[in-house]
Chain A
Amino acid sequence: MKDLVREFTKGIFKENPTFVLALGLCPTLAVSVTVANGIGMGLAATFVLLGSSVIISLVRNFIPGKIRIPCFIVIIATFVTITELCLKAYSPVLNRALGIYVPLIVVNCIVLGRAEAFACKNSVLSSLLDGLGMGVGFTIALIMISGIREFLGSGQILGHTLIKGFEPVFVFGMPSGALLVIGLLLGLFNVLKNMKS
């Protein structure tokens, strides 16, 4: 039981996909302009991570080691496409919020990374928890980055102005600002990790 809890919590801090494993930085840079975007991308990625981790750990004994990567990619892409089609057809509200992020997840290396590093070697339950934990960690990381960027870059959080008369620093709304924020947070995470150990 304790091990299972650890599978879940490790993705949030100890092996945070963005700040510690440094996976999936490309979509992170691109979408972390506003908090709303960050939450959307985070939720969509969590859902796909969950689904693909479960499916891959289900078929892990059937896939030969030498051709596992193409097999994983086919499985992940199929899962993402099915998710996208279902969202479009049955949930227009959710689709409007997450729509553009779902196809982006195919190129998110966290999904393939977890399939390769964890789901293909572990049971369904621990893969599910691992996927969920990684997704939550990714979402938290995105919210942190986009929160800082939205506040400094446009003086708002979730579209609401917090401080009247605050002069926004536009560079934080640009990709260069994203690199700065991610770099500083990555450093902060490493400092915290070193202090702990």
Chain B
Amino acid sequence: MKEMMRYGFILALICVVAAGLLAAVNSLTHPKIIAQTQAEEQAALKEVMPLASKFAEVKSDKDKDALYYKAFNNQDKLVGFVFKASSKGYSSQIQTLAGVFLDQKISAVKVISQNETPGLGAKITEDKFSEQFKNRSSLDLSGVEAITGATISSHAVISSVEKKARQIRELIKNER
């Protein structure tokens, strides 16, 4: 009985020390981590909309994720929009970031998260595929050719971008 108390005490002590350490490290790193994720997000947004220098989130609801981003150039003029499209591919959820100009033409797209088959579906991240989107209307991407052997992954990207572009079409119109 006495031994059990001793073991319990030692284990509790280790847990308390561990919890204390974690709390301390967390409070030190938390603001830095948030800043890092924001910087990363800004960099990704800039990649699909190189013309812009500033981005503003637009949300449909306060708690929801951003619906799309308004992109401003350095004279604070609206130059386009960036939105995130997501859809199920062959073996994973594919997330794509797309930048569109005011006339709905695509500036660039970038697949930001995927876990498709390496060597096949994973080719959607390559420039050869994403370059095809440039200067096409985001509302009609039927001209983009799917990658050989990766039709499902390619179509997931194409249709998710198209779908999201149609979804926010009316909202974007009011912004101008």
Task: Please list the residues of chain A having a beta carbon within 8 angstroms of any beta carbon in chain B.
Answer: 33-34, 62-64, 66-67, 70-71, 74-75, 77-78, 81-82, 85-86, 88-90, 92, 150, 153-156, 168, 170, 173-174
Least Cβ–Cβ distance between B114 and chain A, in angstroms: 13
- Tell me if A66 and B7 are in contact (CB < 8 A): yes
Q: How far is the CA of A31 from the CA of B80 in the complex (A)?
A: 39
Least Cβ–Cβ distance between A59 and chain B, in angstroms: 8
Q: How far is the CA of A89 from the CA of B117 in the complex (A)?
A: 31
With a 10 A CB-CB cut-off, give which of B29, B39, B119 has the most chain A CB atoms.
Answer: B119
Report if A64-B32 is in contact (Cβ < 8 Å); known contacts: A78-B22, A81-B22, A173-B118. Answer: no
Grouping DSSP codes into helix (H, G, I), strand (E, B) and loop, the B interface class, with mixed when no group exceeds half, is helix
By a CB distance below 8 angstroms, the chain A residues around B26 are 85
Task: Please list the residues of chain B having a beta carbon within 8 angstroms of any beta carbon in chain A.
Answer: 6-7, 10-11, 14-15, 18, 21-22, 25-26, 28-29, 32-33, 36, 39-40, 117-120
- Tell me if B119 and A156 are in contact (CB < 8 A): yes
- Tell me if A173 and B119 are in contact (CB < 8 A): yes
Grouping DSSP codes into helix (H, G, I), strand (E, B) and loop, the A interface class, with mixed when no group exceeds half, is helix
Within 8 Å by CB of A88, from B6, B7, B29, B120, lies B29
Q: How far is the CA of A86 from the CA of B120 in the complex (A)?
A: 35
Report if A92-B18 is in contact (Cβ < 8 Å); known contacts: A71-B11, A85-B25, A86-B29. Answer: no
Report if A173-B117 is in contact (Cβ < 8 Å); known contacts: A64-B10, A88-B36. Answer: yes
- Tell me if B119 and A168 are in contact (CB < 8 A): yes
Minimum CB distance partner of A168 in chain B: B119
Minimum CB distance partner of A62 in chain B: B10
Besides the known contacts A70-B11, A170-B119, 15 further A-B residue pairs in the complex with CB atoms under 8 A apart? A64-B10, A67-B11, A71-B14, A75-B14, A77-B18, A78-B22, A82-B21, A88-B32, A89-B29, A89-B36, A90-B32, A154-B118, A155-B119, A173-B117, A174-B117
